[in-house]
Amino acid sequence: MAKFSWLKNPWKQSDWFETVAVAQERARKRLPKSVYGALVAGSEAGITVDDNLAAFRELGFAPHVAGLSEKRDMGTRVMGQDVAMPVLISPTGVQAVHPDGEVAVARAAAARGIAMGLSSFASKSIEDVAAANDKTFFQMYWVGSRDVLVQRMERARAAGAKGLIMTLDWSFSNGRDWGSPAIPERMSLDAMVKFAPEGIIRPKWLLDWARTGGVPDLTTPNLTPPGGDTPTFFGAYGEWMSTPLPTWEDVAWLREQWGDAPFMLKGVMRVDDAKRAVDAGVTAISVSNHGGNNLDGTPAPIRALPAIAEAVGNDIEVLLDGGIRRGSDVVKAVALGADAVMIGRAYLWGLAANGQAGVENVLDILGGGIGSALLGLGRDSIHDLTPGDVVVPPGFRRDLGVE
């Protein structure tokens, strides 16, 4: 067959992509409209989701020109785990973008030496994901009774989860000016017939699922009660909406149930809340606005990060989640006080574009960008970065909850 190699299509697109923006464009072309729309998401007028990206573009660098270091150390330790760079996989809900879903993401993260966050609303079980990446953190919402929460937590512990992430930044906002995607509760026959026109015009995505002999799973296996049925995403969401809202005492209680292992509170945007989190005994917080999917008008996390890091950075680990698309974004966040960042949409675009290899591609892009920024700034290590490495324009910061 080698003698016919000249028959190869010279215009065939390479599976490799050079930026996260290219991965997003490939995801847009590959995914059905409603699936892509669910990833874009956002809330109301989209002010927050836009600011998450715009804020990073407002920041600049103060580079050196000579005497630069040949060494670029990106390794660090976060939530009790050694990682190859200050990037973690942020937990995201049902990943119908690819048949392998969170397992593919976990394998990619393990291949690049970083930790994996798994959502309780994920499409794959904590057992399968922890088996694929031994640096897995399990994420929980305050859904159900205390007994139910402990059952889910203990299941995650038994599966090998190394840390717990508690996400509380959700206000059940609804409505988007550009419209919300139509997502069925289950992929029943009626739903598949209705969805067919979208799928037919995305043959590559459809073929991925056809090869598995299955259809996108819209259930949440990590919320399955012992001996019970696995709830659908929307069924679990309904239980969440009906659960009484947690208090700071509840946060402290859950942290106590988890024991001495790392415990992150995700969604902190204010200094006073960060201090309350320290008092509740958490070991880490994520400065995050839920990817702009929550309360619209909340500033970008990178704007709130400096004040929070200054207030509690010596007491607990501070991570940033929101708007990371380049390695230089990671460097900006670390320079302004983050111990590490978490990525969401960036790896989902990679997963949609090329499965596990696409996620690895995204992580390589981030790693390459971190190395380039360290070189330009003349830093040996991410641990040497300082706020002086970043050009912060007047009025950029949002010091929320400062007494």
Query: Counting beta carbons within 10 angstroms of the beta carbon of residue 6, is it exposed (0 to 12), middle (13 to 18) or buried (19 or more)?
Result: exposed
Cα dihedral 134/106/231/140 (nearest 10): 60
Can you name the residues that pair with 44 across neighbouring β-strands?
Answer: 176
Concerning whether 290 is annotated as a catalytic residue, the answer is: yes
Q: Distances from the Cα of 121 to the Cαs of 158, 164, 177, 234, 362, in angstroms? A: 18, 14, 25, 10, 23
167-176 core/surface letters (b: 16 or more CB in 10 A; e: else) = bbbbeeeeeb
The three-point CA angle 286-90-238 to 5° equals 90
Active-site annotation holder among 64, 98, 290, 383? 290
Q: State the Cα–Cα distance between residues 318 and 209, nearest whole angstrom.
A: 38
**DSSP E strands, 279-365:** 284-288, 317-321, 340-343
Cα dihedral 250/252/254/258 (nearest 10): 180
Strands 81-83 and 163-167, sheet pairing: unpaired
Active site residues: 290
